[in-house]
Amino acid sequence: MRSVLFDHVWKKFYRGERHDSLRDLIPGALRTITSRRAKGELESEEFWALKDVSFEVKPGEALGIIGPNGAGKSTALKLLTRILRPTRGQCQVAGRVGALIEVAAGFHPELTGRENVYLQGAIMGMRRTEVVSKFDEIVAFAGLEDFVDMPVKRYSSGMNARLGFSIAAHLNPDVLIIDEVLAVGDVEFQERCLERMRWFKRGGVAIVLVSHNLQSVVELCDHAMFLNGRVCAIGATSDVIGRYVRDAFAASGEARQGEIHINSAELRHLDGTPVAEPVEPRTTLRVTVEFGVVVEISDVTFAFLLHRSTDQLTVYAREFSAQELQLASPVPGRFSIQFQFQTNLTRGQYHLDVFVKHIPSQRCIARLRPAGHFTIAENRTWAGVADLNVSATVSGLSIDLPSAVRPDTTYLPDPAAPVK
């Protein structure tokens, strides 16, 4: 059983100006008639937004779609929500589709919050009786009990988005489509939204999430798809994100020929073996960076940075001056710097960034990103970034429990009860 199926979906778009006035109709039509073209061939103004995209999502699963801008992510979502139809191939969505996209699109500024809840609910496909029965819950979730009878034009943008999200969150969907929705509201509301999505997921809802915030993909999704017109990678979230981060930096191509450049970087264990993923926390790793100097250069520093790949969090950043490295002033030729560090990190994906900065101009004159990447695997923590090596011990347990709640009498599972 599956809730969402994309079966070799292709979608073509028109890039150029459309003929949207009657004056343009006749020349436009003439051009269509006179120019002969094989069917299925792309016309000059057309392009494929999606090429042969296939994936499926089962109930209770969450798929994250990641990719650069213009990769076709929004197109995929619009196909899922039936706003668009595929040019070729099939897309099937089983059951009721809830979309956390443009959650306030149907709001009218002159109407009150209450009137807009009914209107937006109907737009999302809710029955009136359903809205009536959930009305109080919707308003409470949005935290807008005192403002329901105020026209929405006097709402702040945050209140607007919260109300919209809250309506969508009470939809009881079989499939939930989410587009960057966590960008709304304050931290507390965002956390409530995330919790709501996890609740949907536990309840067997299939989720498709599109996000540039890779961290939220990691937190919610079991599977991910790296989309760039076609499917570049699909599978376990951590693998796909790793692939995406590497590709993203490779594409940015920062190989610049200047006074100094970075030839290569190699990340290895202390014993010289290549870093085989994943890495245990608190492992010592060494990255060897080879520099090539074209012209003698002075007044430079060498920066070593460690980022979490999923959200670009800078975990560590340090600059080493040439004096510190006892590298008086690099002369033409080659040299290497070894940076050794400990992975005192929680689970996640990380990458290194090494650059050379010219002090007088404060310019970065050579950079290698990523200069290495690795994944940390552990199962003790559930959030955070630094491995603080926390331990917990109990002392002073001397409370005399009343016999009724004594563990050995009451809380032992009934042996006769069926095992769930």
* Residue ranges in contact with other proteins by CB under 8 A: 13-14, 18-23, 25, 78-79, 81-95, 97, 99, 101-102, 105-106, 108, 110-111, 115, 118-119, 122-128
Q: Which is nearer to other proteins, 106 or 292 (CB)?
A: 106
CB of 24 to other proteins, least distance (A): 8
Is the Cβ–Cβ distance between 228 and 67 less than 8 Å? yes
Q: How far is the CB of 14 from other proteins (least distance, A)?
A: 7
Alpha carbon distances (Å) from 18 to 13, 15, 28, 44, 151: 11, 9, 9, 13, 37
CB of 38 to other proteins, least distance (A): 18
| Nearer of residues 132 and 294 to other proteins, judged by Cβ | 132
Helix (H) or strand (E) run with residue 336 in it: strand 333-342
In whole angstroms, the minimum distance from the beta carbon of 37 to other proteins comes to 19
* Residue among 176, 159, 179 nearest 168 (CA): 176
d(CA 293, CA 300): 12
CB of 110 to other proteins, least distance (A): 6
Measured from the CB of residue 78, what is the shortest distance to other proteins in angstroms? Answer: 7
Nearer to other proteins, 56 or 319 (CB): 56
Q: Among residues 7 and 311, whose Cβ is nearest to other proteins?
A: 7
Shortest reach from residue 2's CB to other proteins, in Å? 12
Whether the Cβ atoms of residue 177 and residue 112 lie closer than 8 Å to each other: no
- 416: CB partners within 8 A, 6+ apart: none
- When the beta carbons of 116 and 238 are compared against other proteins, the nearer one is 116
What sign has the CA pseudo-torsion 11, 12, 15, 18?
Answer: negative
Nearer to other proteins among residue 91 and residue 267 (C-beta): 91
Q: How far is the CB of 379 from other proteins (least distance, A)?
A: 39
Helix (H) or strand (E) holding 313: strand 313-321
Give whichever of 110 and 145 is closer to other proteins, judged by the CB atom. Answer: 110
Q: Are 5 and 76 in contact (CB under 8 A)?
A: no
- Those residues with Cβ within 8 angstroms of residue 181's Cβ, 6 or more apart along the chain or in another chain: 100, 101, 103, 165, 193
Q: What is the DSSP-derived secondary structure letter of residue 54?
A: E
Closest contact distance (angstroms) between CB of 93 and other proteins is 6
- Are 33 and 209 a contacting pair, CB within 8 Å? no
187-202 and 157-169 helices, crossing angle to 10°: 10
206, 174 Cβ separation under 8 angstroms:
yes
- Measured from the Cβ of residue 6, the count of other Cβ atoms closer than 10 Å reads 24
Residue closer to other proteins (CB basis): 71 or 99:
99
Give the number of other CB atoms < 10 A from CB of residue 266.
16
3-class state of residue 323 by DSSP: coil
Q: How far is the CB of 274 from other proteins (least distance, A)?
A: 47
What is the C-alpha separation between 212 and 196, in angstroms, rounded?
A: 20
Which is nearer to other proteins, 106 or 143 (by Cβ)?
A: 106
- For other proteins, give the closer residue by CB, 99 or 376: 99
Q: Which residue has the tokens 């939930």?
A: 176
